[in-house]
Amino acid sequence: MRILDKYILRNIILSYLFILFLFTGLHILIDLFSTLSDILQNKPSLIIVAKYYLFYLPLIILRVSPLALLMSALYTYSNLAKNNELISIRTSGISTLRIAYPAIFLALFISCFVFFLQEKILIKSQTQMQKVKTQYIEKETKKSEIRNLAFSSGNSLFFIEVFLPQKNKLKNVIIFKQTSEGKLLKKIHCKSIQYQEQGWIGYNIVETNLESRKQQRQAPLIIEKKPIALAKKPNELIFEKSMFIQFSPLKKIKEQINDLKKITRGKLLKNLKIDFYKKIASPFSHLFLIIGSLPVALEIKKRKAAFAAVGVGLIFSLVYSLTDSISIALGKSGMILPFFSAWLAPLFFLSIGITGLFLIR
């Protein structure tokens, strides 16, 4: 690695760590004020509060890291331009694309690290965070109703229309029983399922044997009341929807997609595919933002480099988020394919950045 690469990398890394620390602190401070009423009401110890934010830390890093890296790269290169160092580097025969290598390499490295954080650590940290939150900080759930849950438990697939946490009750539940090989055996429709001391009890049940459905040898079985094999407790179901989509590793989501393919090809399956591709693309937003903004970063020549970096960074981050939100909405409405829905914003920034780097070469 050349001296120039080390010099640029060192400046970007130092700026990145400072901005990351600053954004993380602000995020924790804002969240602390938003949960202050619950903390004052339930009076958890300082150790419990510290443990809560320790488990919260991986998610905060995932959220603020792309913008922190973007601003640090913009600040470093704008500083080089302000001090006429970029002109000196270019006149020595080094191309603009070569000058951009350290930032691209660092963005790729951080993207891979964040991907590892997302796949191996996030689900564990969020599970522990939610346990601390429900046990010590927010003891009573504020959600009166949770809609459209889908998950697997054992060899069964559960599709729940409405979950009422305060009543420990599920409404309009469809359960698909399957073999260990994934072959569907039975469809069970429960009008309601109530959690009691002995477990989950289903009411007004209609069972259909899917193996004999083609021959129509068996009529649906009507059952008034029956125990339901569901290992999850009500407090675990409260977070099932958000935690599965946001924090589960790609392998788990892929398994859910494969299960849904056997049953439906509707909106639920399409949205899950979008979330799957989105989880692949999200960690690499560091790389796409850096490549997309480098042509601008290398041309900033204002004296106040810090203010310029903040302004340009916020604009690029806003444009990326807006483009991403629009593409996701188009995908969920069925106007574009799930893959392009998740990758439209990254590919757009990638093409703009590469084109810009070659134009100012």
Core vs surface per residue 3-21: b (16+ CB within 10 A) or e = ebeeebbebbbebbeebbe
Q: Write the pLDDT tens digit of every residue in 57-106.
A: 999 999 999 999 999 998 888 888 777 777 787 777 787 788 889 999 99
Average confidence (pLDDT) over 201-230: 81
* pLDDT grade for 4, boundaries at 50, 70 and 90: confident
Label each residue of 21-78 as H, E or C.
Answer: HHHHHHHHHHHHHHCHHHHHHHCCCHHHHHHHHHHHHHHHHHHHHHHHHHHHHHHHHH
User: What tokens does 307 get?
Assistant: 């203010």
Instruction: State residue 245's pLDDT score.
Output: 57
Q: Write the pLDDT tens digit of every residue in 239-290.
A: 665 555 567 788 878 877 877 776 665 677 888 889 899 999 999 999 999 9
Which among 281, 290, 327, 346 is positioned nearest to 102, based on CA atoms? Answer: 290
Q: Write the pLDDT tens digit of every residue in 8-32.
A: 999 999 999 999 999 999 999 999 9
Angle formed at CA 261 by CA 203 and CA 333, multiple of 5 degrees: 95
Contact 257, 318 (CB under 8 A): no
Q: Write the pLDDT tens digit of every residue in 245-257.
A: 567 788 878 877 8
Instruction: State residue 217's pLDDT score.
Output: 58
User: What tokens does 65 get?
Assistant: 């890291």
User: What tokens does 143 get?
Assistant: 């959600």
- Transcribe 169-217 into DSSP letters: EEEEEEEEEE-TT--EEEEEEEEEEEEETTEEEEEEEEEEESTTTTTT-
Rounded CA gap, 137 and 145, in Å? 20
Instruction: State residue 235's pLDDT score.
Output: 72
The reported pTM is 0.80
Residue indicated by tokens 């959690």: 195
* pLDDT grade for 141, boundaries at 50, 70 and 90: low
Share of the chain above pLDDT 70, in %: 89
* pLDDT grade for 116, boundaries at 50, 70 and 90: very high
Angle formed at CA 78 by CA 75 and CA 84, multiple of 5 degrees: 140
Higher pLDDT residue, 231 or 170?
170
